[in-house]
Amino acid sequence: MARIVSKECCSIAAMKPSAPHDRIPVLIDCDPGIDDALALMVAAKYTAIAGITTVAGNVPIEHTTNNALSLCELLDLRVPVHQGAAGPLGGDHVTAEHVHGDTGLGNLHLSQPTTQIRTDDAVTFLNQHFLRNPGTRLIALGPLTNVALLLRQHPQVAEYIGGITFMGGSAFGSGNVTASAEFNIFADPEAADIVFKSTVPLEMVGLNLTHQVLMGERHGALLDKTNPISSAAITLLQSYQHLIASGSGVFDVPMHDPSAVLAVSHRELFGFKSRHVMVELQGDLTRGQTVVDERRTTREANMDVAYDVDIDSAITAIQSALS
Ligand code: RIB
Ligand code: CA
């Protein structure tokens, strides 16, 4: 088993077979989205999902919400789904149909959901849930619009939030939607700025981490095609690979959102470092870039940034959840 030790806090001890994991109670804010769908499968297996909120991101809000409802039925997740923001706090509304397909789940066509959203007011649900269940962790897998609205409309809730683990940004300032910006942050940089400047304990799982956890069709081939969840996962992996494939061929693709869920359920597989992270709001070339201060300054860190992961164990955990 790999041994990963980061030189600063939150190092990973020598890998030993991971003990059974307690199912941590979580809320999930997401924009399904192919990798969000895979992440919900991982969360369904390893966490105790108390509620799901949807946000516009990969595809418009009506699709992310419809997909969340359909995925809950596929996974037999009996949790409330609350619809959230239909667009960013500021700036242009960007989507990613070229990566996730027109309705957000690639070639996976789930039956129309029979369940309805609990409310179309994600912010009120989040606020009430945190006040009633202090210490709950939120896993944010899309643009941070709902989270920013929650903190702006209910500032006192920050002390009730156990922590936010978000998939977004990059420790090295690289991007996937532009050369310098990752999609979730680029889609709503003003929202990210509000969250980064809050007092909530934050964990960033950025592209520098998720591009270490690569999977594709070959991993799907090991799944049981007769199982409806595995069959859906196979289709999602195939779609993801082929939608991202470039002229240079088809290759394994980064498990962005599943990695963020594992950072909560399997924290022992990850190495974090405390850092001060800011987001660029202006630059023509750099709007949405996460700027991670690596200087050994006295500047107070505002989050833990994931740098290291036990790749084999992470992929094994994801595969186990998809089967
Ligand atoms: O940059 C990857 C992130 O943007 C993932 O959360 C993906 O689902 C998209 O939302
Ligand atoms: Ca997402």
Pocket test for ligand 1, best of 34, 38, 58, 243 (most atoms within 8 A of CB): 58
Nearest Cα to Cα of residue 244 among 211, 205, 279, 280: 211
Reported as a pLDDT band with limits 50, 70 and 90, residue 19 is: low
pLDDT of residue 20: 61
Pocket test for ligand 1, best of 93, 95, 166, 167 (most atoms within 8 A of CB): 167
| Mean predicted confidence (pLDDT) in 181-209 | 98
The rounded Å distance from CA 257 to ligand 1 centre is 7
**Residue ranges covered by each domain of the chain:** 12-322
pLDDT, one tens digit per residue, over 250-281 is 789 999 999 999 999 999 999 999 999 999 99
Phi/psi class of residue 249: alpha, beta or left (left: φ > 0; alpha: ψ in -120 to 50)?
left
Residue 221 in this model has a pLDDT that exceeds 90? no
- Position in ligand 1 atom list of the atom nearest CA 210: 2
| Mean predicted confidence (pLDDT) in 50-70 | 98
Q: Which ligand has the shortest distance to the CA of 174?
A: 1
| Mean predicted confidence (pLDDT) in 128-144 | 98
- Position in ligand 1 atom list of the atom nearest CA 96: 9
Query: Is the CATH code 3.90.245.10 the one for domain 12-322?
Result: yes
What is the model's pTM?
A: 0.94
Residue 94 in this model has a pLDDT that exceeds 90? yes
Residue 11 in this model has a pLDDT that exceeds 50? no
Reported as a pLDDT band with limits 50, 70 and 90, residue 220 is: confident
Hunting for tokens 């889609």 — which residue is that?
187
Structural tokens at position 132: 């009633």
The DSSP secondary structure of 43-90, one letter per residue, reads HHHHEEEEEEEE-SSSS-HHHHHHHHHHHHHHTT----EEE--SS-SS
C-alpha distances (whole Å) from 319 to each of 82, 99, 241 are 28, 21, 16
Catalytic sites, residue numbers: 256
What is the residue with the minimal CA distance to atom 1 of ligand 1?
A: 183
The rounded Å distance from CA 164 to ligand 2 centre is 15
pLDDT of residue 167: 99
The rounded Å distance from CA 153 to ligand 1 centre is 25
